[in-house]
């Protein structure tokens, strides 16, 4: 069996399985996927250095070997804060109004991808399978090939691939896609992203794609597929039995004093639809004043990418909105919104989810959204809560038994909240068991296996 070399910008160096933080779905999923295979995880340490040396910090933790490098401050500014998070992230989440196209960002992005390639290449062995992750590293495969890598190299995009009419606003869009086509296998979260990418290749590059979603490109055989990511079901359920999870559940149940709890758990990111969600909850309280004393909305939102202005703004906006709604609706002994800017251990999240009647997940765009799946997994089968889910999360196509809402519409969210609060036990059980089946079957292990098998399997096909 070949060794698996996983590459991503962010590498989670575990501080123990219960560690708290806001690392996002990629780190959570890859940590789990790697524990299952004897692999190496390569990426940025999250630290800065005055001069890039390419020295690696190797660690072995929890069965996973991590190899990380430090980057220079200019790299971090142009590559991570710049091209990745001020250009690609907003564009790929259809926020073209926030996307900034700056030459320095593009240069920094190329430079850091080159630095990744330069450091990673000597570490690889000829029969390693190399699996590159996410929008920070689109050009890495091409950079490795230029250095002579003949390995099977796969790429998985954790965020949506945008529609063609938006994507073409990116300067040098064609160059970016041509570098992506250097991979042997390109994975997306859902069919919509896959279609968007294929349509671009057909219309803009004039490429022919077969019914099997493969194409011949510059003498190589390249395959495109959707591989919806999942949670580490077994690990999450195991954590749910812990003292920490039970204690967290008790904290919410006791302090909510019988009120019906709505929970949101998101990185503080404009793609998560948080201001729209707060407005919808405000409207719910205005429209149904009799429900104010019977409801508690807990929003956990740890800060993310705080060097980027749009992330600082969203934080201010939310503080204002939470303050306004609480100011208008609170009593001396009752506050309807608890807004918390910190991370929690995953076991604690399990307890919070379990104590909540409603899981409110309303991103404006999301590659998948693992929180939706975690909420489902944490429910009590005898008295499950209701998932309210945005139609624009990748998870929506996998979880149709949720109450699917339009996150831009306050009315749509309000109606779903009422329906969820009033939903009879039998209907809750029915919907939940359908959701649970999908969450269990499409877990992170299934995702990893499907991708790796496709990456290996496609190798058997004739090249060129």
Instruction: Please say if 366 is a catalytic residue.
Output: yes
Report if residue 134 touches ligand G6P, rule: CB under 6 A. Answer: yes
Lateral strand order in the sheet of 129-133: 57-61, 64-71, 39-48, 4-10, 129-133, 152-156, 185-188, 220-226, 214-217
User: 192: how many CB neighbours lie within 10 A of its CB?
Assistant: 16
Contact 259, 363 (CB under 8 A): no
For ligand ADP, the closer of residues 349 and 405 by Cβ is: 349
User: 314: how many CB neighbours lie within 10 A of its CB?
Assistant: 21
d(Cα 262, Cα 252) in Å, to the nearest integer? 11
Q: Catalytic residue among 158, 184, 232, 458, which?
A: 158
Indicate which single residue of 343, 359, 385, 407 sits in contact with ligand ADP (rule: CB under 6 A).
Answer: 343
Geometric angle at alpha carbon 426, from 421 and 428, rounded to 5°? 45
Report if residue 66 touches ligand ADP, rule: CB under 6 A. Answer: no
312-to-270, 306, 316, 339, 364 alpha-carbon distances in Å: 10, 6, 7, 16, 18
For ligand ADP, the closer of residues 215 and 404 by Cβ is: 404
- Listed in sequence order, the residues at least 6 apart from 338 whose beta carbon sits closer than 8 Å to its beta carbon are 296, 297, 298, 299
- Measured from the CB of residue 185, what is the shortest distance to ligand G6P in angstroms? 18
- Measured from the CB of residue 345, what is the shortest distance to ligand ADP in angstroms? 7
Half-sphere exposure of 400 (CA within 13 A, CB side): 1
d(Cα 236, Cα 429) in Å, to the nearest integer? 20
Interface with ligand G6P by CB under 6 A: which range of 19-27, 106-114, 144-152, 450-458? 19-27
For ligand ADP, the closer of residues 260 and 369 by Cβ is: 369
- Listed in sequence order, the residues at least 6 apart from 204 whose beta carbon sits closer than 8 Å to its beta carbon are 164, 168, 173, 174, 177
d(Cα 319, Cα 325) in Å, to the nearest integer? 10
Segment 332-371, which members bind ligand G6P (CB under 6 A)?
A: none
- Measured from the CB of residue 304, what is the shortest distance to ligand G6P in angstroms? 5
Segment 272-311, which members bind ligand ADP (CB under 6 A)?
A: 300, 302
- Measured from the CB of residue 464, what is the shortest distance to ligand ADP in angstroms? 37
Interface with ligand ADP by CB under 6 A: which range of 25-33, 42-50, 161-169, 445-453? 25-33
Report if residue 272 touches ligand G6P, rule: CB under 6 A. Answer: no
Report if residue 240 touches ligand G6P, rule: CB under 6 A. Answer: no
Report if residue 25 touches ligand G6P, rule: CB under 6 A. Answer: yes
Indicate which single residue of 24, 106, 162, 384 sits in contact with ligand G6P (rule: CB under 6 A).
Answer: 24
- Listed in sequence order, the residues at least 6 apart from 301 whose beta carbon sits closer than 8 Å to its beta carbon are 264, 265, 266, 267, 268, 272, 274, 318, 339, 340, 341
For ligand G6P, the closer of residues 37 and 271 by Cβ is: 271
- Measured from the CB of residue 73, what is the shortest distance to ligand ADP in angstroms? 25
Report if residue 268 touches ligand ADP, rule: CB under 6 A. Answer: no
Give the one entry of ligand ADP, ligand G6P, none that residue 134 binds, where binding means its C-beta sits below a cut-off of 5 to 8 angstroms depending on kind: ligand G6P
- Measured from the CB of residue 90, what is the shortest distance to ligand G6P in angstroms? 13
Q: Which residues of 50-59 are buried (b: 16+ CB within 10 A; e: fewer)?
A: eebeeebeee
Interface with ligand ADP by CB under 6 A: which range of 18-26, 124-132, 186-194, 447-455? 18-26
Tell me the three state secondary structure of residue 462: coil
Indicate which single residue of 78, 134, 142, 374 sits in contact with ligand ADP (rule: CB under 6 A).
Answer: 374
Indicate which single residue of 117, 194, 265, 280 sits in contact with ligand ADP (rule: CB under 6 A).
Answer: 265
Give the one entry of ligand ADP, ligand G6P, none that residue 442 binds, where binding means its C-beta sits below a cut-off of 5 to 8 angstroms depending on kind: none
276-to-137, 270, 407 alpha-carbon distances in Å: 31, 10, 7
Report if residue 396 touches ligand ADP, rule: CB under 6 A. Answer: no
Instruction: Please say if 133 is a catalytic residue.
Output: no
Indicate which single residue of 113, 196, 271, 304 sits in contact with ligand G6P (rule: CB under 6 A).
Answer: 304
Q: Catalytic residue among 134, 184, 269, 366, which?
A: 366
- Listed in sequence order, the residues at least 6 apart from 217 whose beta carbon sits closer than 8 Å to its beta carbon are 181, 207
Strand partners, 40: 5, 65
Indicate which single residue of 9, 260, 369, 442 sits in contact with ligand ADP (rule: CB under 6 A).
Answer: 369
Closest CA to 334 of 299, 284, 292: 292
For ligand ADP, the closer of residues 20 and 199 by Cβ is: 20
Could you list the active site residues?
A: 158, 366
Give the interface with ligand G6P as residue ranges (CB under 6 A): 10, 23-27, 134, 158-159, 304-305
């Amino acid at each position: 069996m070949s060794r698996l070399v996983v590459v991503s910008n962010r590498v989670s160096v575990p501080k123990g399985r219960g560690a708290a933080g806001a690392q996002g779905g990629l780190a959570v999923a890859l940590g789990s996927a790697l524990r299952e295979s004897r692999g190496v995880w390569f990426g940025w340490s999250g630290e800065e250095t005055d001069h890039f040396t390419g020295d690696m910090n190797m660690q072995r933790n929890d069965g996973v070997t991590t190899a990380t490098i430090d980057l220079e401050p200019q790299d971090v500014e142009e590559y991570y804060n710049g091209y990745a998070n001020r250009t690609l992230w907003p564009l790929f989440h259809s926020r073209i109004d926030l996307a900034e196209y700056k030459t320095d960002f593009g240069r920094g992005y190329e430079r850091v991808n080159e630095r990744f390639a330069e450091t990673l290449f000597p570490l690889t062995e000829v029969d390693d399978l190399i699996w590159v992750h996410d929008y920070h590293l689109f050009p890495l495969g091409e950079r490795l090939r230029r250095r002579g890598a003949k390995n099977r190299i796969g790429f998985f995009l954790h965020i949506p691939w945008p529609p063609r009419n938006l994507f073409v606003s990116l300067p040098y869009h064609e160059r970016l896609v041509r570098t992506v086509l250097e991979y042997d296998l390109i994975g997306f979260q859902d069919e919509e992203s896959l279609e968007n990418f294929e349509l671009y290749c057909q219309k803009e590059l004039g490429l022919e794609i077969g019914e099997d979603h493969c194409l011949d490109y510059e003498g190589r055989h390249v395959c495109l597929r959707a591989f919806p990511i999942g949670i580490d079901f077994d690990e999450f359920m195991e954590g749910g039995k812990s003292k920490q999870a039970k204690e967290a559940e008790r904290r919410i149940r006791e302090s909510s004093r019988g009120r019906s709890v709505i929970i949101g758990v998101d990185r503080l990111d404009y793609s998560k639809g948080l201001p729209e969600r707060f407005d919808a909850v405000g409207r719910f309280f205005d429209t149904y004043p009799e429900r104010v004393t019977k409801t508690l909305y807990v929003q956990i939102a740890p800060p993310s990418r705080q060097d980027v202005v749009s992330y600082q703004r969203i934080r201010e906006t939310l503080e204002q909105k939470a303050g306004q709604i609480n100011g208008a609706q609170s009593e001396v002994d009752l506050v309807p919104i608890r807004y918390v800017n910190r991370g929690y251990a995953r076991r604690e999240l399990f307890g919070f989810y379990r104590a909540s009647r409603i899981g409110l997940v309303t991103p404006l765009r999301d590659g998948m959204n693992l929180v939706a799946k975690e909420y489902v997994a944490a429910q009590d089968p005898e008295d499950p809560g209701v998932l309210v889910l945005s139609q624009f999360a990748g998870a929506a196509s996998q979880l149709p038994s949720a109450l699917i809402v339009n996150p831009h519409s306050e009315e749509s969210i309000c109606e779903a909240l009422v329906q969820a609060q009033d939903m009879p036990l039998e209907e809750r059980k029915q919907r939940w068991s359908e959701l649970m089946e999908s969450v269990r079957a499409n877990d992170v292990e299934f995702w990893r296996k499907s991708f790796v098998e496709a990456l290996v399997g496609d190798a058997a096909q004739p090249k060129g």
